[in-house]
A and B are shown apart, each in its own frame.
Chain A
């Protein structure tokens, strides 16, 4: 008769399992410690250190920006997608026509059902270099901004539910989203795609940028004179940086009340006050970029200035407290024309 004695009865089984778990846990802990050792805190890169070579307050645009081409493509498609609006009639491109300087060249934009908006549409070009979006700067990022017009009743009059339904109903969109984003069609992803596309909308190679980059002959003497006047009159105090503006707020009517005696002062004229409700923010707007300004009229948040010259004169009067002579205005206007760049190799 042979009898085998198993050393692993039920108690042994439990103990074995427990020890196995412990071993695994120890291994995992060791691994985590090991990775922790290799981690080195990244040295922060501090932005905007002005190079010593150029003391100019205006900085040339880069030739390109690093972006995911698939996102750019999808964003571009969404940008032109009229179905995102309630009436299938309005897209982003309706008011920000890329062949018209990124604007509609209307004093106030026209949304669905021909509704007229409250402000002049700013250009979408180089908007990625703006420190905030909208005239009142209420959006910190392009992602935030993208949602605005879509859901604005007067603009596209749509809703995210509508947008999601439209995109999910279109197999090509679903596939395209899926190829980029793991979670497919999502509000977050739609914003990301549109914002990415907008960041791609840069206009390098303006003659003035070429001048800044060392090509002394890129601009004319008048233009150079205009630039000098632009600086000496004090325009440069606000319109500086890479986007020649777009990096600060300023009150409209510093030296003289612009809105005084004007009829129909509407809520949009209150500017940043609408956001902060602080008295000192009354009539405070984001300083607009002057890049491609020659192509993006009419001017100001209310589109009240039709020509550059008008706009320069008003600026001189209300912001600088000076009446700029016409000759100087002409020269400054010439300088502003030199700020017009190229989009996809073509001048705006």
Chain B
């Protein structure tokens, strides 16, 4: 389409060539040879006329012609010819040729001069003839009049003869003769009578006239004829020839230039033609390349002209489920492509507005021939197709992408495990609910539900069990809520519920109670009953409160409060309680920094042999002296450490310090002292547990025999196969292993054999009422005897009174631990204890246990 937008450069070049052509054509036009021939002829005629004029003059002088018409006619003709020459030359060599102008003027002047000479000649010749006609008459009269004897007669006769001969001979001698005769006549004139004298005088006058005019006529004739020797027009002819030669030369030059230009144009034309041909070939290649591209394109490509389909490639045929392109061609575009929504630009290309969006990628629907509507992505470009403007549209089937997109959208909004809305969607729903409530002058309630001790389920039964529990919980939540309410899972064991259309807190607590009730139903996983409780925090937006983040925070706080209150309950958010829970939050951050700040210390609680009262060992217990909170009870920060995972580095720290301390004491005091260290479940699962232990032992140089690791019942119950391996490995290292808090879990003693532990530590809850509660006494009795049967050492925890000690002694408990002996002590205090054991450790008065046993059974 370049041809239409002719560039200025080409236009200018074209104009220049045309101008040059025009200039050369005008200048190089052949000299008007007809005019040239005319001028040559005229110059010739002028010459001939001039000669003719001279001849005529001579003929008249010699009396061969007796009138002057030929002279007048010749001169008139010469005048005409000179005038015509002036015009004719202009036609050939152009005006303003100074050379020719000068020559022409000279010629005109010569002609005028010739005319004057001729006029003069005519006049003189007439007068000469006049005298010559009359002279014989006068002589005749004189001869008649004069006496016969007069001597003058001879003179007169002779003179007449001479004059007439002069007419023929033009000789000087005759002229002299006549003059002598006339002079003679004048001298003798006086002698004659007046009548004769007058006659003679007239005779003399006419003779002199004749002589005079004869002379003049001869001179003029000579002038005229001499001038006729190619003088007339000669200069003009030369000037003309010069000009003509020059004009001819210029014309030839221009014609040569014209030929050169023509040659150049022909060469250029040939070159252009070749280039065009080459370009056409290249264009054809290019066209072929792009056509193939279009044909094999995996994307559908169609071309429509005036809203009707003019071309469809193979992909388009496939996309529209057509059998061939012919089936598609001719169909209105609007039957094939529909706007995705009503605001979208139409693709028919006919609207003016369509141009603007033509090139932008947009999503639309394609209506297949089988009636199926599919999602497509469309981009169009205006093109020329078979000399009309058309639109080329590329259509890509994006059905799969759309599916993936909706899946992504789902994933972005839903929790895959439970199918509940996730945090994102929850936030949206909450926002909408809040806005709707405000509009309807109602309120909402936001519940945070956190399952109690869910971690333990994961720890003991495994994650897949935990996941199934979560699924079941989600189903129950859904079941017990209205459609309008939203249940979401924020992650882990945290659920939220948005209750809409509520008017008072009572409604919320009713729903919460219902939820708690539903959750309380036992869940059976792998044949095992699991009881789940939940802590529920409820927040109801304050009047004017619109910030969902605030609301979420409040519900969260309320939930924490519920946890604080001993779990399995619900709490409404109140600002007063807020302060406390925010403490909890900051406790966590303080805990995170505790290690680097070196805020942890170990206290050691002695374990005393029930048989001899000697210090058998110590249990290392962690204490946290926080810079911000002072002494923080382990019950507060240990669960936090477990939740946050901080327990792992902390546990490492404990192991290390405990080993170092134990070694130091052993070096100082030769008695064997076992150092017991608690392992958390989390720690137990760490892969590098053994290397950590080896590291701690290696660094401290403690004999492994004196390191005892305390693990809880629940820890071993979870994945027992794995645990057995780990425990065996630890045993092989020479460590001692103890089951802590024994009796609280679900494990059976039979299991313990497999675990290859050395010691059982009876939970303090059994020891506490051992004297008064026969059940507890029975349990402890059973545990001890069974343990001994299994060759396990039994340690009782929480021994606080002498009676308890006595009881346990009687049952054969191996070691005791508790406030009766000592609270957990800082290292230096324990050192004093090592140096001098207190008196009460002398167990010389064993307590009778029989009545206690009786009471327990009774």
Chain A residues packing against B (C-beta within 8 Å):
1-3, 5-7, 9-15, 17-19, 21-22, 25, 28-29, 32-33, 35-36, 39-42, 44, 46-50, 55-59, 131, 140, 231-234, 236-238, 240-242, 247-251, 254-255, 284, 319-322
Contacts and interface: CB of A to CB of B under 8 A. Distances in A.
B18 interface: yes
B408 interface: no
Given A46-B48, A251-B123, A10 B3 contact: yes
A5 B281 CA distance: 10
Nearest to B313: A1
Interface in B259-304: 262, 265-266, 268-269, 272-273, 276-277, 280, 283-284, 287, 291, 294, 303
Interface string B26-42: 00011011101110110
A248 B119 contact: yes
Contact of A29 (B30, B126, B137): B30
B142 to A, nearest CB: 13
A321 B134 contact: yes
18 contacts: A1-B303, A2-B386, A11-B272, A19-B266, A36-B33, A36-B34, A42-B41, A48-B70, A58-B67, A237-B125, A237-B133, A240-B67, A241-B72, A247-B67, A248-B123, A249-B119, A250-B122, A254-B127
A255 B265 CA distance: 83
A5 B268 contact: no
Given A1-B311, A46-B49, A47-B74, A241 B10 contact: no
Contacts of B284: 5
Given A41-B40, A47-B69, A247-B68, 8 more contacts: A1-B291, A14-B10, A39-B38, A44-B45, A47-B77, A131-B76, A234-B131, A242-B67
Interface string B10-26: 10011001100100010
B33 A234 contact: no
A29 B258 CA distance: 12
A234 B25 contact: no
A212 to B, nearest CB: 12
Given A19-B265, A22-B262, A10 B68 contact: no
Contacts of B17: 14, 18
A301 to B, nearest CB: 16
9 A-B pairs with the lowest CB-CB distances in the bound complex, closest first: A48-B70, A36-B33, A41-B41, A47-B73, A234-B130, A57-B66, A131-B72, A240-B67, A44-B45
Say what secondary structure dominates the interface of chain B: helix
B129 interface: yes
Given A46-B49, A234-B133, A238-B126, A10 B2 contact: yes
Contacts of A13: 3
B30 A32 contact: yes
Contacts of A56: 66
Contacts of A55: 66
B774 interface: no
Contact of A59 (B44, B69, B71, B205): B69
Given A234-B134, A249-B122, A251-B123, A33 B67 contact: no
Nearest to B64: A50
Nearest to B265: A18
Nearest to B311: A1
B29 A29 contact: yes
Contacts of B272: 11-12, 15
B6 interface: yes
Interface in B181-236: 202, 205-206, 209
The CB with the most chain B CB atoms within 10 A, among A9, A15, A254, is that of: A15
A25 B254 CA distance: 13
A5 B275 CA distance: 13
A48 B56 contact: yes
A41 B69 contact: no
A276 to B, nearest CB: 8
B79 interface: yes
Contacts of A32: 29-30, 32-33
A5 B277 CA distance: 10
Given A9-B276, A11-B10, A233 B133 contact: yes
A237 B30 contact: no
A294 B123 CA distance: 25
Contacts of A250: 122-123, 126-127
A241 B122 CA distance: 12
B295 to A, nearest CB: 9
Contacts of B455: none
Given A36-B37, A46-B48, A232-B137, A3 B287 contact: yes
Contacts of A3: 287
A128 to B, nearest CB: 12
* Interface range on chain B (Cβ under 8 Å from partner): 35 or more
B52 interface: yes
Given A10-B10, A11-B10, A15-B265, A5 B134 contact: no
B412 interface: no
A55 to B, nearest CB: 7
Nearest to A316: B134
Contacts of B129: 234, 236-237
A234 B209 CA distance: 13
A103 to B, nearest CB: 23
B65 interface: yes
Given A18-B18, A48-B56, A248 B126 contact: yes
B649 to A, nearest CB: 72
A241 B67 contact: yes
A89 B21 CA distance: 62
Name, among B18, B73, B77, the residue most crowded by chain A CB atoms within 10 Å (CB to CB). Answer: B73
B33 to A, nearest CB: 3
A11 B268 CA distance: 10
B74 A46 contact: yes
A48 B45 contact: no
B776 to A, nearest CB: 96
B106 to A, nearest CB: 20
Contacts of B202: 321-322
Nearest to A29: B30
Contact of B133 (A29, A39, A236, A254): A236
Given A11-B10, A19-B265, A237-B127, A248 B276 contact: no
Contact of A44 (B6, B44, B273): B44
Nearest to A278: B116
A58 B67 CA distance: 7
Interface in B566-584: none
Contacts of A234: 129-131, 133-134
Contact of A46 (B36, B52, B69, B277): B52
A336 to B, nearest CB: 17
Contacts of B40: 41
B131 to A, nearest CB: 7
Contacts of B65: 50
A46 B277 CA distance: 69
B74 A22 contact: no
A1 B79 contact: no
A49 B59 CA distance: 11
A241 B69 contact: yes
Nearest to A54: B66
Contacts of B75: 131
A7 B41 contact: no
Nearest to B59: A50
Nearest to B262: A22
A115 to B, nearest CB: 32
A260 B266 CA distance: 87
A192 B160 CA distance: 52
A127 to B, nearest CB: 14
Most B CB within 10 A of own CB, among A2, A7, A18, A28: A18
Given A21-B25, A237-B129, A250-B126, A140 B33 contact: no
Contacts of B36: 36
Given A3-B287, A15-B272, A39-B33, A236 B280 contact: no
A241 B56 CA distance: 14
A255 B205 contact: yes
Contacts of A238: 126, 130
